[in-house]
Amino acid sequence: MASLIVPDSIPSVAEDIEQLHKAFSGWGTNEDLIISILAHRNAEQRKHIRQAYAETYGEDLLHSLEKELSSDFERIVLLWTLEPAERDAVLLNESTKRWTSSSQVILEIACTRSSHALLSAKQAYHARFKKSLEEDVASLITGDFRKLLVPLVSTYRYEGPEVNTTLAKREAKILHEHISAKEYNHDEIIRILTTRSKTQLFATFNQYNNEFGNAITKDLKADADDDFLKTLRSVIKCLVTPEKYFEKVLRSAINKTGTDEWALTRVVATRVEVDMNVIKEEYYRRNTVQLDHAIKGDTSGDYEEMLVALIGA
Amino acid sequence: MASLIVPDSIPSVAEDIEQLHKAFSGWGTNEDLIISILAHRNAEQRKHIRQAYAETYGEDLLHSLEKELSSDFERIVLLWTLEPAERDAVLLNESTKRWTSSSQVILEIACTRSSHALLSAKQAYHARFKKSLEEDVASLITGDFRKLLVPLVSTYRYEGPEVNTTLAKREAKILHEHISAKEYNHDEIIRILTTRSKTQLFATFNQYNNEFGNAITKDLKADADDDFLKTLRSVIKCLVTPEKYFEKVLRSAINKTGTDEWALTRVVATRVEVDMNVIKEEYYRRNTVQLDHAIKGDTSGDYEEMLVALIGA
């Protein structure tokens, strides 16, 4: 499902770092060379490159890249080069500090990662920021959003295949009761969304649909402009149909006047090694245009080249 | 700080399991033999014994022990023989199912374990019960206790040495404001207790004491019989002075008419390999009687022998 293309035969790590070092030397920077290497190495390979680069040249590769690159191209290369857990930690820290009620990054990371990947991100957060994700989310965000986001980032969900049908029925009913009463911030809605396994929630939302005639996300559309309702809908989509959630983020980012590079960069950097091919299929199904064409039409230069190389045109 | 005594030279695992198997055979059970082996092996050694026993005799050692032993002696031997993470998972599951407002086991495990040990317990909970600790606590406990206990078991606390003094001052003030207003279940009290690192909380409680003239636990004694206040005091003690918390649990268990074997067994089984020697010192300081003497005076038979062997008389 990953879109990353790693050539069958790749140069040694020593050759890769020599080429990268060369790309930074002399007049100007050789961006094409940087893309041709980094956009075609997987997380493990990039990790080795970063280690060997630091040992050989006495500088973190990320610092060299930061000095040489700029703007959106810099951001995609830096985010991509980071290890997945560290990248999530950086995104979470940024999003916590600059949080607004329309920001979706925290819930996106909390709900689309596996329990193990979310835990790894929290460990990377400790190591890098000398505090916990939980305390930052809890102290920087307030009100209903805090009530929802703190348990979302804290929980360590069960991931087994077991489904309790009786429980799914009971909790579909609880959700429906509170949604019908417009009690969207009710403790029980938050408890169910933040603690049950994704498999169990899938059954609960199906049950909701069958029993009450509407998809739960549709019943949560009472007020399309309400950021809390929008957040609840995104949580549900991230938990059970992440590819649809990401397709929508990409669509909005590309269709927006001026393009939302921040969102485009984040989704590409975080999904290329996970499920980008599924997201691409979903994008085509929904827009009848290929994602790489849409991106080419909306971006330019090295940034465009890097994105297209990563999503595997 | 652990009280466990493992002889310098111990028999091979093969000899240990042969002896254990012999202890279960023929007329009656040889309890002394069981104690002489299991009470003097560390977690790693017990794990190997359990594995080898299952491979050789086709039965889980715990099942054999369950069939042969009974009552309090059975419980201490079974809990002790489990791996620490699995033992915590079993205790947490029991406590969640039979939870009452005076029950302290959930907060005790959440607050006295390291972040890694709590995580391991949650992973063992997934493996054994096919669901998460968070969902059980959230669905079986209600009201203010749920509001406090769910984040307590969910959080992955930072464990570095950093202290932010400005933050400690600010949060000591927040705690004092809400405690003075008797808003003991306030979101901010719960946020601070459930997300900050233990080192940071230590500084915050010191600041509270210096600034407002009373230990925070003293200010939380407004109503000695209120279970929620008692829970908050226990949370604070478990976070910053676990040895005092455990000393008190042992003292209450032993001084109670009839002895609270449930609590005595739990504390011995879970602390022997961690900090039992510190707890023993604290017990002597507080009661001017050695813990092993107090236990001998209050228990009998194989149960007494096992406890005394574990706490290293």
Q: What letter would DSSP give residue A241?
A: -
Identify the pLDDT of residue A1: 76
CATH for B242-311, options being 1.10.3720.10, 1.10.287.3510, 1.20.58.480, 1.10.220.10: 1.10.220.10
Tell me: the pLDDT tens digits for A81-101? 999 999 999 999 999 999 999
Which residue in the set A131, A146, A196 is minimally distant from B158, CB to CB? A131
B61 CB neighbour count, 10 Å cutoff: 22
Give the A:B interface size as CB pairs under 8 Å: 88
Mean pLDDT of B81-108: 96
Name every chain B residue with its beta carbon within 8 A of the beta carbon of A157.
132, 134
Considering only the top CATH level, what class is A165-240?
A: mainly alpha
The domains spanning B84-154 and B242-311 adopt the same CATH topology = yes
Confidence band for A3, pLDDT divided at 50, 70 and 90: confident
What mean pLDDT do residues B274-302 have? 96
The average confidence (pLDDT) of chain B is 96
Burial class from Cβ neighbours inside 10 Å (0-12, 13-18, 19+) for residue B139 reads buried
| Among candidate residues A246, A249, A241, A244, the one with its CA nearest the CA of residue A102 | A249
B84-154 CATH fold: Annexin V; domain 1 (1.10.220)
Find, among B286, B311, B279, B284, the residue nearest to B296 by Cα.
B311
Instruction: Say what the pLDDT of residue B23 is.
Output: 94
The chain B residue lying nearest A167, using CA atoms, is B139
Residues in chain A closer than 8 A to B196 (CB atoms): 135
Cβ distance of B156 and A162 shorter than 8 Å: no
- What residues contact residue A216 under an 8 Å CB cut-off, 6+ apart? A175, A179, A205, A208, A209, A236
Give the one of B132, B162, B195 whose C-beta lies nearest to A195's C-beta: B132
Residues B98 and B107: their CA atoms lie apart, in Å, by 14
User: Is-above-0.90 flag for pTM?
Assistant: yes
Interface test with chain A among B153, B158, B163, by most A beta carbons within 10 Å = B158
Nearest CA-CA distance, residue A105 and chain B, Å: 20
- Give the residue from B228, B212, B229, B227 showing the smallest Cα distance to B177: B212
Look over chain A and give the mean of its residue pLDDT values, rounded to a whole number: 96
Assembly ipTM = 0.91
Instruction: Report whether B161 contacts B194 (CB < 8 A).
Output: no
Question: Are B157 and A150 within 8 A, CB to CB?
Answer: no
Can you tell me the distance from the alpha carbon of A85 to that of A120, in angstroms, rounded to the nearest whole number?
Answer: 5
pLDDT in tens, B138-151: 999 999 999 999 99
Interface with B, mutate which of A114, A115, A120, A156 (most B CBs under 10 A): A156
pLDDT tens string A112-158: 999 999 999 999 999 999 999 999 999 999 999 999 999 999 999 99
pLDDT band per the 50, 70, 90 thresholds, residue A20 = very high
**Inter-chain contact B135–A158, Cβ cutoff 8 Å?**
yes
* Binary contact (B195, A135; C-beta < 8 A): yes
Query: What are the backbone dihedrals phi and psi of residue B213, each rounded to the nearest 5 degrees, phi first?
Result: 85, -5
**Chain B residue with the nearest C-alpha to that of A131:** B158
**What is each CA distance from B204 to B36, B231, B234, in whole angstroms?**
46, 19, 16
The residues, ordered by sequence, that sit 6+ positions from A271 with a Cβ below 8 Å of its Cβ are A246, A279
Strands, DSSP E only, in chain A?
A: none
**Each residue of B123-133: pLDDT tens digit?**
999 999 999 99
Q: How high is the pLDDT of residue B254?
A: 94
Q: What is the CATH number of domain A13-69?
A: 1.10.220.10
Query: Helix H segments across A105-164?
Result: 105-112, 115-129, 133-140, 143-154
State the Cα–Cα distance between residues B128 and B114, nearest whole angstrom.
21
Q: Which two tokens stand for residue A142?
A: 């307030």
Query: What's the one-letter identity of residue A265?
Result: T
Give the list of residues 6+ apart from residue B296 with CB closer than 8 angstroms, or none: B304, B308
Asked if the model's pLDDT at residue B26 lies above 90, the reply is no
User: In whole angstroms, how large is the CA radius of gyration of chain A?
Assistant: 21
Look at domain A243-311 and name its CATH class.
mainly alpha
Cβ-defined contact of B119 to A155 (cutoff 8 Å): no
- What is the pLDDT, as a whole number, of residue B313? 66
Output the pLDDT for position A87: 98
Q: How far apart are CA B131 and CA A24, in angstroms?
A: 51
Interchain CB distance below 8 Å, B132 and A119: no
Domain positions in chain B:
13-69, 84-154, 165-240, 242-311
For residue B155, give the nearest of A131, A134, A159 by CB distance: A134
| Nearest CA among A82, A1, A32 for reference residue A272 | A1
